[in-house]
Amino acid sequence: MVLVERSGNANNNRVHFGDLRVIRRRAKVGLLHLLNRARQNAHNVRPTGVESIHLFLFDIEAGDAEAFIAEQERQWQTHIAHSDDSDARVARLHLLLEFWQAAHGHFSHAVDCKTCCCDGAPHLIQRAIVSLVVGTAALTRTMQSGSVILAKYLVTGAAGFIGRSIAAALLARGETVRGIDSFITGKRSNLIGLEAMEFIEGDLADPAACAQACAGVEIVFHEAALASVPRSVADPVGTNVNCVDATLNVLVAARAAGVRRVIYAGSSSAYGDAPTLPKREDMLPNPISPYAAAKLAGEHYMRVFARVYGLETVVLRYFNVFGPYQDPTSHYSGVLAIFCRRMLAGEQTTIYGDGGQSRDFTYIDNVVYANLLAAAAPAEKVSGQMMNLATATRITLNETFEILRELTGYSGKPEYAPARAGDIRDSLADIDLARELLGYEPQVDFREGLRRTVEWYRSCGGA
Ligand code: UD1
């Protein structure tokens, strides 16, 4: 038997995590009544063979009930349709009944404060929807391998390089994870190894997809974006849709679903081309490409949602992330992914500009590590904050090329071409704020990261 609970907003006030635990304790006592009733109902509709009862508590605002139920019902039906439970229809009907009873308030006696748990004080279960699924072990298996057991974490851009890396780390910790990706730049092959993740193919430009993705989730890692400066120069509208509109949609859906915290992949491109190094968070942003402007707009939305709606938001401004799973095949790919692939294949690389431009290249493990810290950090420390995420070291492209020659065995020289529009010259982060707010320290330095990255591209043929 499985009991899964999710809670969210109450009376438009945010329920803080501490409070939530108290509510959950109380809720559990009250839910025992429901569970007993559920058992009886289960045997009424299905006298034999019932092996599992799943009781789900969704704490939502009353006004959202109908839409919420419709969405949940759609998800359950999908699951049951894919289940090998031969008597799944019963489960579905039973579930529908319970949903509608909940929607029309007929559960009040079952969760009546006086008869259950909490000294007569009003409590959140009265605004909850309780749904019940009865089934056999086969149904249970389908549910547990799929989307019915609601994920605690949502990763957007889960088929992308950074998203899949965060999802993998969460799964390795035994967390329940949902991912969403539209495959505009994400790759299906990046989902290999993430089978335990519930996956939604959907576009964050679509508010309905965002609502589906956020349902029941506690923490969102918003990694989805069209992450490329030159791509944004070629297609500023596409970048705006996939970076700005998508981010606003995620925030709106997160708030409506009672998500507690959204962690956002910001970009160092926000600093633009100001010569001052290192870049500190208190410097005025100065985006010089559509991509930088779009990512910066997302940062502002994060801050505003924390301030206006009390949603916990954290912005991590990434500096040139690299590592395994970064797509090396696109013209818009990150420079290290392109260089690794080409040099391993014995092909010449192109350096735009004189190669003297420098970057604070950040190995992916550092990014994953900081995201996990950001998810766990106390709200009073991090909510509404923006901080650099990097290594506080920089290296030029020419130097990087030399290190890669050693690591890959490539013996040729690079070709030099004119500098790219929208490119900045130098980039180096001050990471003291992340140290202070998250306790972050880089875990893997540039050389070691590059070594691991080359090994990875070597092992997968640079695909
Ligand atoms: C920028 C952002 C970064 C963002 C990334 C998304 C800055 C400081 N950083 O990185 O936050 O995540 O976009 O794409 O703005 N280059 C070559 N040869 C190549 C490819 C690239 O020389 O084949 C050069 C580029 O011209 C650039 C440097 O390498 O000078 C790095 O390029 P890239 O990896 O695309 O990242 P940024 O544009 O620095």
In terms of domains, do 92 and 178 share one? no
Q: What per-residue confidence (pLDDT) applies to 61?
A: 52
Evaluate: CB of 362 within 6 angstroms of ligand 1. no
- Measure 265 CA to ligand 1 centroid, in angstroms: 16
The CATH number of whichever domain residue 326 belongs to comes to 3.40.50.720
- Measure 230 CA to ligand 1 centroid, in angstroms: 9
In terms of domains, do 250 and 292 share one? yes
CA distances for 38 relative to 83, 133, 208, angstroms: 21, 9, 31
In terms of domains, do 189 and 270 share one? yes
Q: What per-residue confidence (pLDDT) applies to 46?
A: 41
In terms of domains, do 364 and 410 share one? yes
Last residue of a domain, one of 84, 112, 145: 145
Q: What per-residue confidence (pLDDT) applies to 15?
A: 24
In terms of domains, do 48 and 109 share one? yes
- Measure 335 CA to ligand 1 centroid, in angstroms: 6
- Measure 435 CA to ligand 1 centroid, in angstroms: 25
In terms of domains, do 201 and 314 share one? yes
Evaluate: CB of 258 within 6 angstroms of ligand 1. no
- 119: which residues sit within 8 A by CB, 6+ positions away? 113
Q: What per-residue confidence (pLDDT) applies to 152?
A: 83
CA 339 to ligand 1: nearest atom = 23
In terms of domains, do 71 and 120 share one? yes
How far apart CA 83 and CA 21 sit, in angstroms, is 33
| Global confidence as pTM | 0.74
Q: From first to last of its 463 residues, what are the pLDDT tens digits of the chain?
A: 223 333 332 222 222 222 233 233 334 434 444 444 444 444 444 434 444 445 455 555 545 556 666 666 676 666 666 665 554 443 333 333 232 333 333 333 333 333 334 344 333 333 444 555 555 545 545 444 443 444 689 999 999 999 999 999 999 988 889 999 999 999 999 999 998 898 999 999 999 999 889 887 889 999 999 999 999 999 999 999 999 999 999 999 999 888 899 999 999 999 998 889 999 999 999 999 999 999 999 999 999 999 999 999 999 999 999 999 999 998 889 999 999 999 999 999 999 999 999 999 999 999 999 999 999 999 999 999 999 999 999 999 999 999 999 999 999 999 999 999 878 899 999 999 999 999 999 999 999 999 999 999 999 865 5
pLDDT tens by residue, 257-289: 888 999 999 999 999 988 899 999 999 999 999
In terms of domains, do 308 and 381 share one? yes
How far apart CA 426 and CA 393 sit, in angstroms, is 11
In terms of domains, do 175 and 217 share one? yes
In terms of domains, do 96 and 185 share one? no
Q: List the domain range (segments joined by +) for residue 115.
A: 2-145
Helix (H) / strand (E) containing 370: helix 364-376
Under 8 Å between Cβ of 297 and 315: no
DSSP assignments along 277-339, one per residue: SSB-TTSPP---SHHHHHHHHHHHHHHHHHHHH--EEEEEEE-SEE-TT---SSTTS-HHHHH
DSSP assignments along 98-165, one per residue: HHHHHHTTTTTTTT-GGGSSSTT---GGGGEEEEEEEE-HHHHHHHHHTTSS--SEEEETTTSHHHHH
> Which of 416, 423, 426 maximizes ligand 1 atoms within 8 Å of its Cβ, making it the mutation to test the pocket?
423
In terms of domains, do 163 and 91 share one? no
Last residue of a domain, one of 117, 145, 173: 145
Number of domains in the chain: 2
pLDDT tens by residue, 395-404: 999 999 999 9
In terms of domains, do 120 and 206 share one? no
291 is catalytic: yes
Last residue of a domain, one of 145, 169, 193: 145
